[in-house]
Amino acid sequence: MTIQRESVTNTSKLRLTGVTFPSRPERRETERARARVSWKIQPQRSHEGALLHREDCGLYKGSVGFISREDAAIALDEPDIEPCQICMPENGVPPA
């Protein structure tokens, strides 16, 4: 990798040579692959238990606090956490 600095009318630009960056479709596919192996817990509400979702589940748009496969397996063993009936996160989680 080589970094070169170019000066063009009072603005500096960095040019990287020999470096390839993933295309937009490749980045999207990487994000989708990560979403298939990440889970999130929707907090408990007063009248409902907490729900475990896959990261890409559309029912709960929480964007922080993702947990690993192992943590998801532990969460499913908790009595007050239920799996989402739409994304069915238990299908991708090994038994704890």
**pLDDT digits 0-9 by tens, 58-83:** 888 777 778 988 999 999 999 989 99
- Domain around 73: 2-92
The DSSP bridge pattern shows strands 39-42 and 50-54 to be antiparallel
pLDDT of 34: 67
CA separation for the pair 90, 58 (Å, rounded): 16
- Round the CA-based radius of gyration of the chain to a whole number and report it: 21
Q: Which residue has better confidence, 56 or 16?
A: 56
Residue 85, token pair as written in the block: 């009936």
Q: What is the DSSP letter of 81?
A: E
pTM of the model: 0.61
- What is the number of domains present in the chain? 1
What whole-number percentage of the chain has pLDDT above 70? 73
